[in-house]
A = this chain, B = another copy of it.
C-alpha cells in the first residue's frame, strides 16, 4: 500500500512537471520569441510589383527580397507587368492592393503614372516603398535605389582612369528618362570639374535599344575621329555600341563603359569589347525594401512619427544602394548563378 502511494506521488509529480514544461515554459518561449528578435509570421505576405518581370535585371533584386523574407520568417510574392506597359502595371498594382498585403515594394515604370494607385494603398494603411525607379511625388514612405547622379560620377572617374585623364568622350543615353538624364549629368559635371583635358563632345539618344544605339555609335565614330571613349547609360545600348565597335574595327581604339550586368554586357566585358560596366546594388534594393516594409507593418518606427501632424518620417526616406565598376578582372562574379 505504501509503495502504491509512493508511486501515485511520483505520477502526480511527473505529470505536474510535464504540464509545467508544456504550458509555462512553452509560453515563456513564445514570449521570448515575440519580444526579442525581429520576426514575422508566414501569413504576412509582402509583394514586389515591377514591370518587364521576365528580365534578368530583377533576379538579384528578388533574391534580396527573398533572403530578407526567409530571415524574418514572412512570405513574399512577385508580381508585375510582363510588358513595358504602364497601364498593365497599374492594373497589377490595383489587384495587389485589393488583397490587402502586409506591404508592397514597387518599381515604377513611370515616375508619375502610378501615384494614384500608390496613394490609394497608403491611404488604406498598406506599407508602400519604392525601389529602383521612384515615384517621388507619391506618398510612398521611402525610396531604395541607386543615386543615378553618383553612378554617372563613378563612370566618369573610371573613364578618366582608362584614358589617362585626357581625350574626347561622348554619351549615349535615353533623353526622355529621368534616371538616365541624372547619369548623364553626373558624368558630364565630373568631367568638367575634375578632368580639364577631357571634353564631352556629344550626347546622343540611344532610345534604350540595341539598334538605335549601334547607329548612334557609328555616327559618333564618323563625326568625331578623335573620339576616345563612350559612356552608355543603359544595358541594351552598351551592347549596341559594342556591335558598332566590332563592325567598324574600333574595339582597340575606344573605351566603352556600359551599364548593368545582363549576360550580353558581361560577355562583352569579358571579351574586352566593353572596358567596363556599372553594377547597381540590386540585392540591397530587394533586401532593404522588405526590411523597410516589415518595420512599417510592425510599427517599428520613429516614435514621434506616430503622433498626429508632426510630419516626421517613420523611416529613412531614401536608401542609396550604391554602384561599383565591373571590369575583365572581376566580371566572373557577376554572372547570375
Contacts and interface: CB of A to CB of B under 8 A. Distances in A.
Interface of A: 3-4, 7-8, 10-11, 14-15, 17-18, 21-22, 25-26, 29, 32-33, 36-39, 63-64, 70-73, 144, 147, 279, 281, 283-284, 287-288, 291, 300, 302-304, 307, 309-313, 315-322, 324-325, 329-330, 333-334
A3 B11 CA distance: 13
Contact of A33 (B33, B38, B309): B33
Name, among A22, A70, A304, A324, the residue most crowded by chain B CB atoms within 10 Å (CB to CB): A304
B330 A36 contact: no
Given A14-B18, A322-B317, A309 B281 contact: no
Nearest to A288: B316
A321 B316 contact: yes
A288 B316 CA distance: 8
A297 to B, nearest CB: 14
B333 A307 contact: yes
Contacts of A37: 33, 37-39, 71-73
A243 to B, nearest CB: 27
A73 to B, nearest CB: 4
13 contacts: A3-B4, A14-B14, A29-B29, A36-B39, A37-B71, A38-B38, A288-B316, A307-B333, A309-B330, A310-B333, A316-B322, A317-B320, A317-B322
A330 B311 contact: yes
Contacts of A287: 302
Contact of A316 (B279, B284, B329): B284
Nearest to A315: B284
Listed from nearest, the 8 A-B pairs whose CB atoms lie closest are A37-B39, A318-B320, A37-B37, A36-B73, A311-B324, A317-B322, A38-B38, A21-B21
A320 to B, nearest CB: 4
Contacts of A15: 14
Contacts of A319: 316, 318-320
A325 B307 CA distance: 14
Chain B CB within 10 A, most for which of A29, A281, A316: A316
Contacts of A302: 64, 281, 283-284, 287
A22 B14 CA distance: 12
A32 B42 CA distance: 13
A76 to B, nearest CB: 14
Given A281-B312, A313-B322, A319-B318, A334 B71 contact: no
Contact of A304 (B283, B312, B329): B283
A283 to B, nearest CB: 4
Given A312-B324, A318-B322, A319-B320, 7 more contacts: A11-B11, A14-B15, A147-B318, A288-B316, A307-B330, A307-B333, A310-B330
